[in-house]
Amino acid sequence: MIAIAGLDMAAWDALGKAAGLPLAALLGGTVGSVQAYNSNGLWLSHVDGVAEEASSLVAEGAFSALKLRLGRQKLQDDLDAIRAVREAAGDEIKLMVDFNQGLSFDDGLRRCHALDNEGLYWFEEPLAYNNTSGHARLAREIKTPIQLGENFYGPRELLKAVQAEACDCVMLDMMRIGGVSGWLRSAPIASAAGLPVSTHLYPEVCAHLMRVTETAHWLEWQDWAYPVLKEPFALADGHLVVPDRPGSGIEWDESVVKRFQYD
């Protein structure tokens, strides 16, 4: 699926360039901005460093939302990390948390209950991504929204989770869902169910798709590709701005790319 998605994205990029249209416009939307949260850091590092890091992440683009990774050995350490980020970034900052599938059902239920009154924006993948019944139970018992989707391969896995009411919002991964074509088949399933749709990785291409997604929610932003891009997409007040350039708007800095090329 991932290999096919790469080819699919290249084809859509070429089609947009041939038509002289940005991908968002080619798909019937417009260029513009997409609200984003900063996912550049706040990994499972020592609690002592998260406050300073959180302040730095907010300042990178005047962000109003951050993602914090949870799943430390002690629940209290996770709680301390949440509160340190809150104190440093401010109560108005939306704080998403990601367990990266790290918990058993029993531990996930215990931890989510313990953190349910911390005002968190969502709990992302507390359990193994394919534990549909477990996530459905969490979604019933926990008031904080359950976020799933980055590990869904194609629209059928998404549909299964939606039908089971296993999540309150979905996060699609461009490569695993099947590229642009896979997104266009999958996002409407979530939107028809009234579920907000966010993105996982690949912010430049995903920003185009968010401009044509009915229940577009949050763009996950990282600057990981910036070193190899000639002109990175601009950030403005916590939003990624889709440029008015044909295709995906991505142009590689070939001199930099060449340094990583294998002959």
Q: Each residue of 42-77: pLDDT tens digit?
A: 999 999 999 999 999 999 999 999 999 999 999 999
Say if residues 250 and 228 touch (Cβ distance below 8 Å): no
SS3 assignment, position 257 = helix
Rounded Cα–Cα distance for residues 129 and 59 (Å): 32
How far apart CA 170 and CA 167 sit, in angstroms, is 7
**Please, are residues 69 and 44 in contact by the beta-carbon 8 Å criterion?**
yes
Tell me if 205 sits within 8 A of 174, measured CB to CB: yes
Please state the length of the chain: 263
Sign of the Cα torsion 50, 53, 59, 64 reads: negative
User: Is 258 a residue whose pLDDT tops 80?
Assistant: yes
Measure the CA–CA gap between 74 and 248, rounded to whole angstroms.
43
Residue range 189-206: mean pLDDT, rounded:
99
Q: Are the CB atoms for 38 and 57 separated by under 8 Å?
A: yes
Number of structural domains the chain divides into: 1
Cα atoms in the 13 Å half-sphere on the side-chain side of 133: 1
Domain ranges, residue 99 = 2-260
- Angle at the Cα of 179 (from 175 to 185), degrees rounded to 5? 120
- Give the per-residue pLDDT at 262: 82
pLDDT digit string (tens) for 152-170? 999 999 999 999 999 999 9
Model pLDDT, residue 161: 98
Q: Is the pLDDT of residue 263 over 80?
A: no
In the predicted model, what is the mean pLDDT of residues 107-128? 98
For position 109, what pLDDT does the model report?
98
CATH number at residue 196: 3.20.20.120
pLDDT range class, residue 176, cuts 50, 70, 90:
very high
Q: Is residue 98's pLDDT more than 80? A: yes
What pLDDT, on a 0 to 100 scale, did the predictor assign at position 171? 99
Pairing of strands 197-200, 169-173: parallel
Q: With bands split at pLDDT 50, 70 and 90, how would you rate the model's confidence at 260?
A: confident
Give the pLDDT score at 112.
Answer: 99
Asked whether the predicted pLDDT for residue 261 surpasses 90, the reply is: no
Instruction: Find residue 111's DSSP bridge partners.
Output: none
List pLDDT tens digits, range 236-249.
999 999 999 999 99
Output the average pLDDT for the chain. Answer: 97
Taking alpha carbons only, the member of 68, 36, 72, 27 closest to residue 51 is: 68
Identify the bridge partners of residue 95 per DSSP, sorted by sequence position.
Answer: 66
User: What residue spans of the chain are helical by DSSP H?
Assistant: 2-19, 23-26, 50-59, 75-89, 105-115, 132-141, 155-163, 174-177, 179-192, 203-210, 254-257
3-state secondary structure of 141: helix
